[in-house]
Amino acid sequence: MQIDYRRRWAGVRRALRDADADAFIAVGAGNTRWLASSESPPGSPPSSTLNYVFVPKRGAPVGITSSLEGHRCRKEAGVRDLRLWSSYPDVGAEFTSAKAALKALLEEREVGSVLSDAVLRLQRGVAVERSTAVRDLRARKAPDEQERIRVAVRHADAGQRFARELCEVGAGLTEFEVAAEIDYFLRRRGVQETSFTTIVASGPNAAFSHHSPGRRRLRDGDSVICDFGAFWKGYCSDITRTYFVGGSPAPKWRKRYALVLEANERSRAALRHGAVAQDVDGAGRNFLGRSGVGNRFVHGTGHGFGLEVHEWPSLTYGQKTVLEQGMAVTIEPGLYFPRQGGIRIEDDVLVTRTGCETLTHAAKALY
């Protein structure tokens, strides 16, 4: 299924009409990709090939990019009108900076007011208003986006099955080695890139919710948090499972694992169109609190994902966003015990009219 950019631009134009503005200027990397270059992965560090995407109330959208990315944008971008800039005189670009190209475009189109996802300083006579219009549109995934997310999830699911086998028999391997094997497995499957630096956290390192893999060797009985995802045609997945070296955790870890799994199930059961984000968070968080371990759940229950691994909305305490059908979010409760280890179980989930669809299928009722 091809990306339908025209549908996206139409959504932006509705926001422009509501605000009585002449154009939308996208600056954020995820937003420029959504408007004009969705199938390009973000790279590392995450970025976009486009500096700006200009969507007018009437007329064709315009992309602004450097001479460095010009050839690639002509091949990949969904906009046909590309304005190039370069600071190198020999290149012969019309503009010497992205901002110069943008200001010239505003004069050419006789723009007097714009919406933007960023704070912009433009020429006199152009009013700028911050807008979350593109963020809000991105939150509800269309069929062309859901298709790509499903494939990205399938790749990560396969990676988790591989990770489980590796961790349960992997005593003596370093976290570096386990992470490298997972990344190689995913690359061999043809993914564009991993969603972020693969997390493998073993033993006491699993008490750090976002540990960077190191030289520690896996030991029998360790909990091992494996958190990773994959990009497929510009869209990502984000899945976490926790395994135990040797495959047979101690009784206290079995109890802790069962608590996290139950919290995951309760939050997913609370997820549906019209639910409030903080209530989805509370379904799992309150259960862990009643179980006497609420102080060990130190982060939010989940977040949106798609073109970027962390997108709006946020499913956390105090967040009153009303969730809508089509939102793709994570559900990822965890418990962390300093100097001992930790457990996190994360699923990728699609909000539906009557509930939710859990996209991830890697086994989690393991211990």
Is the CB of residue 284 less than 8 Å from the CB of residue 301? yes
Strand order from edge to edge, sheet including 235-236 = 193-194, 230-232, 235-236
In which residue ranges of the chain is CATH 3.40.350.10 found? 5-137
Q: What number of helices (H) and strands (E) belong to the chain?
A: 9, 19
* Fold annotation for 143-358: Creatine Amidinohydrolase (3.90.230)
Exposure class string for 148-186: b at 16+ Cβ within 10 A, else e: bbbbbbbbbbbbbebbbebbbebeebbbebbbebbbebb
Cα 14–18–23 angle (5° rounding)?
65
Strand order in the sheet with 199-202: 199-202, 223-228, 239-244
Short-list 99, 98, 130, 103, CA closest to 117 = 130
Compute CA distances 264 → 42, 131, 259, 330, whole Å. 29, 33, 9, 10
Residue type, 283: A
CATH number of 5-137: 3.40.350.10
C-beta separation of 251 from 258 below 8 A: no
**Burial class (CB within 10 angstroms; exposed 0-12, middle 13-18, buried 19+) of 258:** middle
Q: Report the alpha-carbon distance of residue 259 to residue 79 in Å, rounded.
A: 49
How do the pLDDT tens digits run along the chain, 367 residues long?
A: 899 999 999 999 999 999 999 999 999 999 999 999 999 888 866 788 999 999 999 999 999 999 999 999 999 999 999 999 999 998 888 999 999 999 999 999 999 999 999 999 998 899 999 999 999 999 999 999 999 999 999 999 999 999 999 999 999 999 999 999 999 999 999 999 999 999 999 999 999 999 999 999 999 999 999 999 999 999 999 999 999 999 999 999 999 999 999 999 999 999 999 999 999 999 999 999 999 999 999 999 999 999 999 999 999 999 999 999 999 999 999 999 999 999 999 999 999 999 999 999 999 988 8
Alpha carbon distance 345, 200 (integer Å): 13
Alpha carbon distance 348, 350 (integer Å): 7
Q: Which of 11, 72, 10, 74 is nearest to 47 (CA)?
A: 72
Give pTM, 2 decimals.
0.96
Quick one: tokens of 66? 């450097």
The secondary structure of residue 168, as a DSSP letter, is H
- E strands within the chain? 23-26, 52-56, 62-66, 81-85, 113-116, 127-130, 193-194, 199-202, 223-228, 230-232, 235-236, 239-244, 302-304, 311-315, 328-331, 334-337, 341-344, 347-351, 356-358
How is 185-253 classified by DSSP, letter by letter? Answer: HHHHTT-SEESSSPEEEEGGGGGSTTPPP-SPBP-TT-EEEEEE-EEETTEE--EEEEEETTS---HHH
Site of tokens 């089509």: 326
